[in-house]
Chains A and B, each alone.
Chain A
Amino acid sequence: MGRIQLKGVQKDFGKVTVIPPLDLEINEGEFVVFVGPSGCGKSTLLRLIAGLEDVTGGVIEIDGADATDQSPGKRGLAMVFQSYALYPHLTVAQNIAFPLRMAGLTRDEQARRIDNAADVLNLTDYLDRRPKQLSGGQRQRVAIGRAIVREPSAFLFDEPLSNLDAALRMGMRLEISELHKRLETTMIYVTHDQVEAMTMADKIVVLNAGVIEQVGSPLDLYDNPRNRFVAEFIGSPKMNIITGAHAEERQATSIGIRPEHLTISSGSGDWKGIVGISEHLGSDTFIRVDVAGVVDTMTVRAPGKLRLAAGDTVFLTPDMENLHRFDKTGLRIK
C-alpha cells in the first residue's frame, strides 16, 4: 500500500502552466521529499496528489488504480498542513476523532485509536484542550495525530515544520523520521529547506519551475548532481560556482566545487586569494576567500581550530575527483 504514480501530470492555472507534463514514481514505504525554490510548484504537486487540485492532464495512480478523478477523502491519503489546520472549535480529542467520525467508526474504536495516537505523540495530557491552548509543537503533533489515526496509505506533508523555531524543528524532524520508520508508510514531504530534505529523505525530488530537475537519494544528488541547478540547490553552504578562465581551461562553461573539497594553504596552491570573513562553527570554520578572476566569493571549509585573519593571502586547491564541470546549458559533463 502506498505506491503512487504520476503519468504525464500537468497543471495549468488559467493560461499559466505551473507544472508541465511530469512523470514520477513513488514506491511503497518510501520517504520522498519535494524540494525546490519558492513558487516552483511543490505544494501544487502535493495538492494534485491529494486531490485538492484537479489535474489539467495526465493520470495519477494510487496502488495501481486510477485515482485521477477520485475525491480527496477517498484516496486514502492523509495531509498535514503548514498551518496545521486544526479545527478551532473542537478539542484535541475531537480533532483527532474527526476523520474517524467521517469514516463512521464506532465510538469504542474511535476512542481506542485516539488513545493510541495520543500515546505515541505525547498528547495524552492535552486531549481536552482546544488548539488555541497549545504550543506550536503540540499543535503540530495534533495535526500528525489526526493524520495517523486514519491509517492512510500515504502521508502528505506540506512544509509542516516551517512555523516552528529551530530547536523544535530539529526535534520534530527526528520524530517524523521515527514515525516513518515505525509505520513504514509512504510519506511525501514538501520543504524548501534542503537540510530537511537531506536528513529525512529516502528519495529527493528537486523541482524547478514545475520541472523535475533530478530524482535520487540524498547522497546521490550531493555527489552526482545532474546539472548546475541541483548542484547549487543541494548542500549547505552552497557549492562554489566558477565561470570564466578557470572554467574554460577545464573545457567547461562553469565548474563547481563544494567548500569541503577545497584545501586551503598559506604557502602554495592552484588559486590565489585574499581571506574575507570567517565563520567559526566550532567543529568547522567556513572561510570566505576572494579569488582573483572569480566573480563570487568562494567558501572553503576548514577545521574549526584554523585561524586566519581577514586580508591574509591564501592558496586554494580543488580536489579534482570532486570537481564538477557544467556545459553552457548547465548540464554536468561526465
Chain B
Amino acid sequence: MIDNSPEFRVKRGIGLTLMLVLLAFAAVPTLWVLILSFRAPMAIFQPIWESPLALTLDNFFKITRSNFPSALMNSFITAGLSTAFAMIVGVPAGFALAKARLSGKFVASWVLLLLRMAPPVGFVIPLFLLYVNAGLIDTYMGLVFAYMTLTLPLVTWSMWNSFAQVPDELIEAAIMDDANLMQAFLLIALPAARPGAVAAAILAFLVAWNDFFYALIITRSGTATAPVAVMNFISYDSVDWASIAVASIALTLPILPLMAIANRYIVQSLSGAVKG
C-alpha cells in the first residue's frame, strides 16, 4: 500500500532529515580526516576553498619513516593472538556451558557478564603491578594476556549463546552415529555455529584492535600499539595533524572488511541460521 497523504509525507520528510543529520555526524569527520591526510602541512589550517590544490602524498611517505608502521604491526600481532587464544579456549568453553549438564551455570553467566561489563581500569592497575613484578611490561605476552581479559569473556559468552541455538538433537544424532565428543563438537556443533564463531572472532579482534588504555599503561616503546603510537605525533610544541589523519586511516582500513563480514554473520547468527 502506498500512502500518499500529506500527513505521511511530512512524517517521511522529518524522518529523512533526521537520517541525513545522523549520517552527516558519522560521515563528515571521516571525510574531513580523509581530506586532512592529503593536505600539505601549511594548508592544514586553511579552509579547503582557499587552497584547494594544496594536496600531497608526503604525509603518507613521512609516516612510513616513523615508528608507526611497526606499531601497526604490534596491533596486528597482539589483537590477532589475543583473538586466537580466546577462540581456542572460549569456543570449547561456550560449547560446554551451552550443552553440558552442569550445575553452577548461573554463577558462570554472572561471572562472565561481570567480566564483560567491568571497566578496564578495574583490571589494569592490578595487572600493571603484577606485570612490573613479573617483567611483563612492554612484552607481547603481557599485552596479549591483558587483551584476553576482554576477548575471552566476550568469545565465551557469545559462543555460549551460539551453541545454545544449536539443537541438542543435532549433537545427540552425532553421538548416536558413533562420533565421540570431540568429533561431535568439531564436525557438527562448530560448523552449525559457524556464523556465531566468525562474529565472535571479529568482535574480539576489534575490541583488542581499538584498545588504547591497556596498551598505554602496559607498553613502552617496544610493543606500543598503533593507537598509542598516534600519541607520538603530539609533542610539546606542536601537533602533527596530518600524520594523525593518516594514522587514523591506517587504523580504520583493516577493519572495514572485517566489519563487512561481521555485519553479515551477526545478522545470520541473530536470525538463527541453524535449522535442521
Q: Are A88 and B176 in contact (CB under 8 A)?
A: no
Interface contact tally, CB-CB below 8 A = 68
Q: How many residues of A contact B (CB 8 A)?
A: 27
Give the total of B residues in contact with A, Cβ under 8 Å. 22
CB pair B176 A98 closer than 8 Å = no
What 1/0 mask marks residues of chain B from 166 to 190 whose CB sits below 8 Å from any chain A CB?
0101101111111110010001100
| B179, A85: Cβ atoms closer than 8 Å | no
Assuming the A-B contacts A88-B192, A89-B191, are A83 and B276 also in contact, with contact meaning beta carbons closer than 8 angstroms in the complex? Answer: yes
Cβ of B25 to closest chain A Cβ, rounded Å: 40
Interchain CA distance A215-B127 in the complex, whole Å: 68
**B178 partner, pick from A50, A89, A102, A131, beta carbons under 8 A:** A102
Whole-angstrom CA separation of A99 from B175 in the bound complex:
9
A271 within 8 A of B: no
Chain B contacts of A52 at CB under 8 A? 172, 175-176
Which of A77, A85, A103 sits near B173, CB closer than 8 Å? A85
Please state if A83 and B175 are interface contacts (CB–CB under 8 Å).
Answer: no
Contact of B276 among A50, A74, A88, A98 (CB under 8 A): A88
In the complex, the chain B residue whose C-beta lies closest to that of A86 is B276
- Interface hits, B126-185 → A, CB 8 Å: 167, 169-170, 172-180, 183
Assess the B176–A87 pair: CB atoms within 8 A.
no
Q: State whether the Cβ of B275 lies closer than 8 Å to any Cβ in chain A.
A: yes
Chain A residues whose C-beta falls within 8 Å of the C-beta of B167 in the assembled complex: 83, 85
What residues of B have a CB within 8 angstroms of the CB of A81 in the complex? 169, 172-173
Say whether A98 contacts B169, CB under 8 Å: no
Contact with A along B257-276 (1 / 0, CB 8 A): 00000000000000001111
Report whether over half of chain B's contact residues are helix, strand or loop; otherwise say mixed: helix
Partner of A85, one of B169, B183, B187, B194: B169
Which parts of A77-112 form the interface with B (CB within 8 Å)? 77-79, 81-89, 98-99, 102-103
State how many angstroms separate the Cβ of A102 from the closest Cβ of chain B: 4
Residue of A79, A84, A102 most packed against chain B (CB within 10 A): A102
Closest to B191 in A: A89
Task: List the A side residues contacting B169 at CB < 8 Å.
Answer: 81-83, 85
**Would A87 and B170 count as touching, CB distance under 8 A?**
yes
* Per-position binary interface string of chain B over residues 186-213, scored 1 when its CB falls under 8 Å from any chain A CB and 0 otherwise: 0110011010000000000000000000
> A71 to chain B: which residues have CB within 8 Å?
175
Contact yes or no, A88 B174, CB < 8 A: no
A50 partner residues in chain B, CB cutoff 8 A: 176
Across the two chains, which residue of chain A brings its CB closest to B189?
A: A87
Tell me, yes or no, whether A73 is within 8 Å of chain B by CB.
yes
Which residues from A are CB-within-8-Å of B274?
Answer: 88
CA distance A59 to B158 in the complex (A): 40
B275 near A73 (CB under 8 angstroms)? no
User: A163: nearest residue on chain B (CB-CB)?
Assistant: B276
What A residues does B273 contact at CB under 8 A? 88
| Residues 228-276 (chain A) with a chain B CB within 8 angstroms | none
Chain A neighbourhood of B183, CB < 8 A: 102
B-side contacts of A99, CB under 8 Å: 177-178
Q: Which of B170, B177, B191 contacts A102 (CB 8 A)?
A: B177
Q: With an 8 A cutoff between CB atoms, is A132 at the interface?
A: yes
* Distance in angstroms between the alpha carbons of A103 and B174 in the assembled complex: 12
State the Cβ distance, A141 to closest chain B Cβ, in Å: 14
Write the nearest CB–CB distance from B261 to chain A, whole angstroms: 18
Residue of A nearest to B179 (CB): A102
Pick from B176, B188, B194 the residue with the most CB of A within 10 Å.
B176
List 9 contacting pairs A-B, 8 Å CB cutoff, sorted by A.
A73-B180, A74-B178, A85-B167, A85-B276, A102-B183, A131-B276, A132-B275, A146-B177, A150-B177
Known pairs A79-B176, A85-B170, A89-B194 / 18 extra A-B pairs, C-beta < 8 Å: A52-B176, A71-B175, A72-B172, A73-B175, A77-B176, A81-B169, A83-B167, A83-B169, A84-B276, A85-B276, A87-B170, A87-B188, A88-B170, A88-B275, A89-B191, A99-B178, A102-B178, A146-B173
Q: Which residues of A contact B (CB under 8 A)?
A: 50, 52, 71-74, 77-79, 81-89, 98-99, 102-103, 131-132, 139, 146, 150
Could you tell me which B residues sit within 8 Å of A by CB distance?
167, 169-170, 172-180, 183, 187-188, 191-192, 194, 273-276
The 10 lowest CB-CB distance pairs between A and B, nearest first, are: A73-B178, A99-B177, A85-B173, A85-B169, A89-B191, A102-B178, A81-B169, A79-B176, A84-B276, A86-B276
